[in-house]
Amino acid sequence: MTYAAPLADIKFVLENVAGLGKVTALPAFAEATPDLVESILEEAAKIAADTLAPLNKVGDTSGAKLVDGKVVVSPGWTEAWNVLVEGGWNGLPFSPDHGGMGLPNVLNTAVHEMWQAANMAFTLCPMLTQGAVNAIESYGTDEQKATYLPKMVTGEWTGTMNLTEPAAGSDLAAIRTKAVPEGDHFRIFGQKIFITYGDHEMTENVIHLVLGRLPDAPAGVKGISLFIVPKFLVGADGSLGARNDAVCASLEHKLGIHGSPTAVMAFGEKDGAIGYLVGEANRGLEYMFTMMNHARQAVGLQGLGIAERAYQQALSYARDRVQGKPVGWTQPGNTGIVNHPDVRRMLMTMKCQIEAMRGLIYSAAAHVDVAHHAEDPATRDHAQLMADLYTPLVKGWSTEVGNVVASLGVQVHGGMGYIEETGAAQHFRDARITTIYEGTTAIQANDLVLRKTLRDNGQGIGVLLADVTATAQAAEAAGLGIGAQLVKGVAAAKACVDWMLSVAKQDLRLPAGAAVPFLELMGILVGGQMMAKAALAAKGSDQPFLAAKLVTARFFADHVMSKIDGLAQSIIAGSDAIMALDDEVL
């Protein structure tokens, strides 16, 4: 089973849930006409189906390899990358000043959904390159922008993010990489692990963004600086010079995404890798969060993409596979297992959550567009607040759901799902990393609870819950059952927020222990809001595609939103049991 982009649903969500029209009405996006948007989506879908999807299994079975010190990518990878470069695809959301198309982030998100679904291991490379461009564009000097951005925007050069070290995983305060001043540059010494596309031969240069410490840096996260470390040094005229002292020491052997080279990078094995300070010293973590927040939304998008791919494959298999007579089946002849009630339950569970994720992720991307480009300061501030609150939901909830959907895809296949030849197992294996890298689900949940709920005494999340309430009221007025579920869900969320604000004063471990269930609750709630918006836009239509929106919204309300009460119960009543046992008797 190959992949076909769900263009009808992508366009529907862009227009009716994420508010693409409001984004393209901004002066910055005057070029984003409906015809151009249509053309971009159609062509991206072709690339997904014709170029990337056929390489997905190739990457899984013939992954990247380290040969004589060089990283050799999977067969077809370089040719596929050249397709993106020739089309200027990497520059879609970037300023024309650097050779980009200047189109909305939300449109770029829709394009990348298709590519992540078609080939997640491959699409990690443009994803990270775009994040590196964002960081340099935001904080680099004019000279750095002129040196690196034009070829990174076109995709002629790729970018990486170098944070993690053997002794510094999620605890970045433990970073040991050193940066020794030397004239107008620095010598970088240290090792980074888990560096996605840390080296390869698809492009002539790789631009690393590396976190490190100056000799006199204060301890902890306040002493981290950010450096540009190119694989090949770049001359004043843009020409490539000597190979830098930054090499791939080994590649990780992984559960999934085999086509993506995950490198152990050694900086300064000889004289020290030459690096250039980005922005001010000791503000590197702040700058890197520009890249990390982009990556968090992009990894959430991977959860959606892999779920869509798993669903398409499961649905196709269920239609073709004949096993027994379904309960209640009265038609003559045999039928696929798609008509067995429990298989249908699994498929509907997959389908409705995919639609909810798509609405959430596209809406988050649209908020980023408005936050960066709206002319009214109050509008920008509100959009930034919403983007900040959505980001942990996008990353945390969407990737957890992506894992559930990929697992259901295996289950729909039955025993054949456990056999690698069907491909269902690859989606399950590929999905598993998404809840881990770019900040685990717990890190996203702690961000939501500790930073974005407790820090401002619940004010920000109150704005988000008010927004959900407005949608709930509109859905109730339209006679949609999901409206009542949203009202109940908001009440449960408010009760959880009040509880966390109260107990945090006595024992901060209690809200921390409840953080992941609260993130799931909020993901389901905001996902339900997206389903309600879709149902409101579809109500009254007799077109099968639109009429289906009412059914999936009802299914989401009855089968997914019904979990909210249980989550609220475990948060408020069950959190004190989390740390109750001594670790010796666990």
Whether residues 167 and 121 fall in one domain: no
Residues facing residue 157 across a β-bridge: 205
| 19 and 128 part of one domain | yes
Question: Residue 112 maps to which CATH number?
Answer: 1.10.540.10
Residues 446 and 542 in one domain: yes
Which residues are annotated as catalytic? 438
Percent of the chain with pLDDT over 70: 100
The whole-angstrom separation of Cα 440 and Cα 229 is 27
Tokens 């005229």 sit on residue: 237
Angle at which helices 544-555 and 7-16 cross, to 10°: 70
> 542-567 pLDDT, tens per residue?
999 999 999 999 999 999 999 999 99
Same domain, 145 and 190: no
Helix axes 341-373, 105-118, angle to 10 degrees: 150
Do 576 and 455 share a structural domain? yes
Tokens matching residue 165: 């070290």
Q: What is the domain extent for residue 217?
A: 158-283
Evaluate if residue 316 carries a pLDDT over 80.
yes
163 C-beta neighbours (distance < 10 Å), count: 24
Mean predicted confidence (pLDDT) in 47-66? 98
pLDDT tens, position by position, 470-486? 999 999 999 999 999 99
B/e letters for 263-300, b = 16+ CB within 10 Å, e = fewer, are: bbbbbbeeebbbbbbbbebbbbbebbebbbbbbbbbbb
Quote the pLDDT of residue 72: 97
| The pLDDT value given to residue 150 | 96
Do 137 and 15 belong together in one domain?
Answer: yes
**What's the pLDDT band for 2 if we cut at 50, 70, 90?**
confident
**Separation of alpha carbons 275 and 186, rounded Å:** 5
Q: Are residues 515 and 538 in the same domain?
A: yes
User: CATH number, domain at 252?
Assistant: 2.40.110.20
For the chain, helix, strand, coil in percent to 5 are 60, 10, 25
What would the mean pLDDT of 45-71 be, rounded to a whole number? Answer: 97
Q: Are residues 87 and 130 in the same domain?
A: yes
> How far is it, in rounded angstroms, from Cα 354 to Cα 389?
20
Question: Is 360 a member of any domain?
Answer: no
Read off the pLDDT of each residue in 169-176 and give the average, rounded to a whole number: 86
pLDDT tens digit sequence for 16-33: 999 999 999 999 999 999
The answer to the question of residue 489 being in a domain is yes
Q: Is residue 388 situated within a structural domain?
A: no
Report whether pLDDT(291) > 90.
no
Is residue 35 very low, low, confident or very high in pLDDT (cuts 50, 70, 90)?
very high
Q: Which of 126, 154, 182 is the last residue of a domain?
A: 154
Q: Maximum Cα–Cα distance for the chain, whole Å?
A: 83
The predicted structure's pLDDT at residue 450 = 97
Residue 91 CA to chain centroid, in angstroms?
18
Calculate what percentage of the chain has a pLDDT beyond 90.
94
Write out the two tokens for 290. Answer: 């520009």
Residue 562 within any structural domain of the chain: yes
**Lowest mean pLDDT, pick from 4-8, 165-169, 433-437, 438-442:** 165-169
Q: Could you say which of 106, 139, 154 is where a domain stops?
A: 154
Residue 502 pLDDT greater than 80, yes or no: yes
Mean pLDDT calculated for residue range 184-197: 97
List the alpha helices (DSSP H) in 34-166: 34-46, 56-61, 77-86, 105-118, 120-139, 142-154
Q: Are residues 140 and 12 in the same domain?
A: yes
223 pLDDT tier (thresholds 50, 70, 90): very high
Report if residue 414 sits inside a domain. Answer: no
Question: Mean of the pLDDT values across residues 283-293?
Answer: 86
d(CA 399, CA 559): 19
Question: Which tens digit of pLDDT belongs to each residue from 231-259?
Answer: 999 998 999 999 999 999 999 999 999 99
Q: What is the pLDDT of residue 289?
A: 81
pLDDT bin (cut points 50, 70, 90) of residue 293 is confident
**Calpha distance 292→394 (Å, rounded):** 13
Name the pLDDT band for 538 (thresholds 50, 70, 90). very high
Burial class (CB in 10 A: 0-12, 13-18, 19+), 84: buried
* Average pLDDT value for residue range 391-414: 98
Kindly state whether residues 92 and 51 are assigned to the same domain. yes
Nearest Cα to 154, choosing from 236, 98, 104?
Answer: 98
Residue 330 inside a domain? The answer is no
The answer to whether residue 558 sits within a structural domain is yes
Same domain? 19 vs 105: yes
Query: Tokens for 293?
Result: 């927040």
In tens, the pLDDT along 109-167 reads 999 999 999 999 999 999 999 999 999 999 999 999 999 999 999 999 999 999 999 98
Q: Write down the mean pLDDT value for the chain.
A: 96
Which of 154, 185, 201 corresponds to the end of one domain? 154
For the full predicted model, state whether its pTM sits above 0.85.
yes
Whether residues 123 and 193 share a domain: the answer is no
Q: Is the pLDDT of residue 43 over 90?
A: yes
Q: Determine the pLDDT at residue 173.
A: 83
Q: How many structural domains are present in the chain?
A: 3
